[in-house]
Amino acid sequence: MAGNLNSHGPNRHAWASIDLEAIRHNYRLLKKLSGDNRLIAVIKADAYGHGASEVAKALPNADAFAVATVEEAVALRKSGISQKIIVLGGYIHPRELQTCVEYQLDPVIYQQIHLDQLINYTDLEGLQVWVKIDTGMGRLGYALKAVPGVIEQLARVATLGQVRMMTHLACADDVDNPLTDRQLGRVDSLKLDDYEWSIANSAGILGWPDSHRVWARTGLALYGANPMSNRNQTVVDLKPAMQMTSLILAVNVLRKGDSIGYSSTYTCSRDMKIAVIGAGYADGYPRHKTETAQVIIGGQSCDIVGGISMDMITADVSSLENVKGGDEVILFGASPDANAVADWSETIAYEIFCNVGTHVSREYLNKD
């Protein structure tokens, strides 16, 4: 049967352009800002929708990569990625531990079952692991009081390779939140300075120099979005890597009092020229929005009016001359950026990237 009935990807009007040079720029910048510590590029969730294999191949000098699952890591190995790959979610079943050994993956361990499986494994072939410690995130990680026992058990595993330490900062995006200092204090209280640590995430790199301990991790900032809650004050030269673009399907002239869209949620306050754009929540663009949401058409900002539909967005183009069907529309990129769209839809840039990146087709710029 010819064609593909899947409504996502190349069958849609919208697409995402991924600038790999922007990602390389961001990696170099963040490595410098981390004090030239070793920098882990976090490419879980298909590199936040940017394409894990493509992003990894664009960073041949990256110190390491991190993903959430063993399966994600295996896919990278099979695509030719040879650098260290850290599995942040660790392993659940013994077969996943075996896969870590076979593919030379670094699992993160955070519960007793991990230790039991390591102890019972016949030959780990120098497997390297990261011990995750819960210093305040409240998700995965050994309790502080359990850490000495964890280290003692690991010391008895003769075929184990290097052991490193890791924790995750819960509120590093807020430079005024005291939790980060408390978390760093808890790290120091363990007196494990002989181990290599990974503490800083993207926000830690930008806002907390004391968290720069041998290995830093960058996720959101790698893709050009500022992770700080006070990003208007914390200015950093990150370059947005993803641009979402679509096309105008039609331009309609509506009269004062006419309504637009389902439930007639928008009523024209004057005679207006409205562009119907071929994108919607089926393409990952958020359905919920505030009244300030905008798109870029012909280099000018245009207000989104009415609700976001599955396949269509309507925008006020009354101020534009010669606008017509087929013209390109930037939904986000350098301006408005993903953080702005996230603010308008009362979510976070992580969700914007992931949703769009898994729904629309992607094209890659500056591969070399």
Which residues participate in catalysis according to the annotation?
Answer: 44, 262
What HEC string does 250-301 produce? EEEEECCCCEECHHHCEECCCCEEEEEECCCHHHCCCCCCCCCCEEEECCEE
Phi/psi at 57 (nearest 5 deg)? Answer: -70, -25
Report the distance separating Cα 250 and Cα 230, nearest Å: 39
DSSP 1-17: --S---SSBTTSS-EEE
Closest CA to 285 of 55, 67, 68, 49: 49
Report the distance separating Cα 45 and Cα 42, nearest Å: 9
Report the distance separating Cα 295 and Cα 272, nearest Å: 17
Tokens of 137: 């995130």
Angle at 209 between CA 206 and CA 212, to 5 degrees: 100
Tokens 């190349």, located at residue: 10
- Give Cβ neighbours of residue 82 (< 8 Å, ≥ 6 apart): none
DSSP 141-157: SB-GGGHHHHHHHHHT-
Per-residue CA distances from 155 to 12, 127, 189 (Å) = 54, 13, 21
Contact 185, 152 (CB under 8 A): no
Phi/psi at 294 (nearest 5 deg)? Answer: -140, 160
Closest CA to 114 of 133, 136, 91, 134: 91
